[in-house]
């Protein structure tokens, strides 16, 4: 048998598979980089991370361990469980925990490899630095635009009812319609959101400098297929 791996390493893997999972088998810094399927889970977690997530050192112990935190607003039902699920799917060897905060729940997982998986990690706030996707991330997002948009809107987005007053001859009339808003301070992340909506065929516009609005009836209906008021 010629695998290029020596016998004692093979024995170690066989007897301690958990070691392999938690340490060596990083999907990105392994000899030939890959990502676990389904890539849709990665696209969704990338959206959540870019929207409202952060990576920081896990603490005093091991300097190489990083903590990924995603802030999940209580307003999206099911989001916390979905976030826990995709974190586990991408780093199956690492524990996932939650911490209740005011109006939101932090979903947390520690791994040495979050910076490999999210190379957008860096010092300071996201809107103060350049956020660009690497070619392998772009490939995944292009193949799973709906999941990426879902992650972005679930973390930094909002789906609500907009009320508009129409001035008629006799009296004013109020109209209500659902719309999506995605608010973010990073121009790069706004650009990624806009490109993804273009890819999905969802009409959008900037309603403010830092907010993307999806308000046309057919555009809202299209985005509902991927994001949805609830799921
Ligand atoms: Zn790694």
Q: Is residue 84 predicted with pLDDT exceeding 90?
A: yes
Q: How far is the CA of 82 from the centre of ligand 1 (A)?
A: 23
Q: How far is the CA of 23 from the centre of ligand 1 (A)?
A: 8
Q: How far is the CA of 196 from the centre of ligand 1 (A)?
A: 27
Q: What is the pLDDT of residue 74?
A: 81
Q: Given phi > 0 = left and psi -120 to 50 = alpha, else beta, which region is 126? A: alpha
Q: What is the pLDDT of residue 170?
A: 83
What are 162-194's pLDDT values in tens digits? 888 888 888 888 888 899 999 999 999 999 999
Backbone angles phi, psi at 164, to 5 degrees: -125, 135
80 vs 18, more confident: 80
Of 36-40, 114-118, 207-211, where does mean pLDDT reach its minimum? Answer: 36-40
Q: How far is the CA of 181 from the centre of ligand 1 (A)?
A: 34
Q: How far is the CA of 195 from the centre of ligand 1 (A)?
A: 28
Q: Is residue 6 predicted with pLDDT exceeding 70?
A: no
Of 8-17, 41-50, 163-172, 219-228, where does mean pLDDT reach its minimum? Answer: 8-17
Q: How far is the CA of 41 from the centre of ligand 1 (A)?
A: 18
Listed residue (67, 77, 76) closest to 107, CA to CA:
67
Listed residue (162, 166, 53) closest to 104, CA to CA:
53
Q: What is the pLDDT of residue 70?
A: 95
Q: How far is the CA of 66 from the centre of ligand 1 (A)?
A: 11
> Global pTM?
0.84
Q: How far is the CA of 148 from the centre of ligand 1 (A)?
A: 22
Q: How far is the CA of 63 from the centre of ligand 1 (A)?
A: 14
User: Residues 217, 177: contact at Cβ < 8 Å?
Assistant: yes
* H runs (alpha helix) in the chain: 7-15, 17-19, 39-52, 79-90, 114-117, 135-143, 145-156, 187-200, 217-224
- Position 134 confidence tier, pLDDT thresholds 50, 70, 90: very high
Section 5-32 average pLDDT: 58
């Amino acid at each position: 048998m010629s695998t290029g791996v020596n016998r004692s390493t093979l024995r170690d893997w066989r007897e301690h598979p958990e070691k392999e999972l938690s340490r060596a088998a990083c999907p990105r810094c392994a000899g030939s980089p890959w990502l676990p399927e389904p890539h849709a889970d990665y696209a969704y977690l990338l959206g959540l991370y870019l929207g409202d997530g952060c990576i920081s050192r896990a603490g005093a112990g091991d300097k190489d361990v990083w903590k990924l935190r995603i802030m999940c607003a209580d307003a999206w039902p099911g989001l916390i469980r979905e976030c826990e699920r995709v974190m586990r799917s991408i780093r199956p060897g690492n524990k996932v925990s939650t911490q209740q905060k005011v109006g939101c729940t932090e979903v947390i997982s520690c791994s040495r490899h979050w910076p490999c998986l999210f190379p957008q990690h860096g010092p300071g706030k996201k809107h103060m630095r350049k956020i660009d996707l690497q070619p392998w991330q772009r490939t995944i997002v292009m193949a799973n635009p709906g999941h990426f948009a879902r992650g972005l809107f679930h973390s930094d987005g909002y789906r609500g009812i907009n009320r508009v007053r129409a001035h008629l001859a006799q009296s004013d009339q109020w109209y209500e319609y659902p719309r999506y808003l995605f608010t973010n301070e990073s121009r790069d992340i706004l650009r990624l959101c806009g490109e993804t909506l273009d890819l999905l065929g969802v009409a959008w516009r900037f309603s403010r400098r830092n907010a993307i609005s999806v308000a046309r009836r057919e555009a809202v209906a299209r985005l509902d297929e991927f994001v949805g008021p609830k799921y």
